Structure 1
């Protein structure tokens, strides 16, 4: 959904941190050709706002409550295939960047990028062009095809349990949220450790952070 040169670029900011959204609003105010079209703090709010239309670019944090990893990008791409998505994240990992781009993102930036580059990237992606953080571009080019990540073998329910576990929720709380027995959650935990080759819950936490599953 590339915008015409005369039109303002209508941007929705999606980030679960209020301070980040406030800072991004101030960045948008620096460019008269960009206007704020809405904000979202979780995956459901993102999908609800996009369903209303009137959006030229989604500025998206990679990890939003309600979705895991690049799942939200996939949902957005399935429902709004023409909508440009620019990921703005803390994760400076080329493997995570590649997953986001393959899921449908048009651009990928880390949160330490300059204001000037962020504005430039928004214009590029809104116009239908790709934009990757300069610090990651060379690494993405050098990447060789990899064997499928163990994460790709996880079912949606296993991903839910993984996120809940690494965020410190107890087996009982997870079971209540998923409406299953605690023993079932325990089985999921064992299966996750086996699939991801992790020996303990602390190992799972480190693995999840390293692979961009949680902050």
Structure 2
């Protein structure tokens, strides 16, 4: 189980404030402060959430400390898993120049209100988006220029996201995401997306039939 000194060291390694760690882990600021100050006993679930937040930043806990790795693989699952994937995108891209999320094989019409709000938050933070969607899909919540149609025989509603040095792949009947933090892998997926964007995909949709927009 993670120790208080490891939490402090991990936070210093990624230059996060206690507030940022609390936000990324989905816990209260007081829980972080109490843990680091060793006030009382931190619950195992709180420690697990903090450790998971650090692992998403490729910081791992070792027997005697912490270390940052160039590559990492982790799952995001359980209740609200897709929102937590989008949180991961937001934190990965928030401080980057010209941030962009690439989305393969998505469908805006299937996004519930809380997902729509999260995507709006990302757009307001300056994160650009491009999507490959199914041919004839006109439910487009972003500007039409952000979309390209994929011919129906090649489309499967199983989303993959490419963002920063990460690739997130939906798995197990869209009940979780497997996230790979690997610069070379992300670059290869980004190149594949660009080939699809410029190659086999069809024309830009000419209008949207979405009930609302971002």
Q: Determine if the TM-score, normalized by the shorter chain, exceeds 0.5.
A: no
Q: Which has the higher contact order (CA 8 A, sep 6+)?
A: 2
- In the superposition, the TM-score normalised over structure 2's length comes to 0.29
- In the superposition, the TM-score normalised over structure 1's length comes to 0.29
Greater percentage in strand: 2
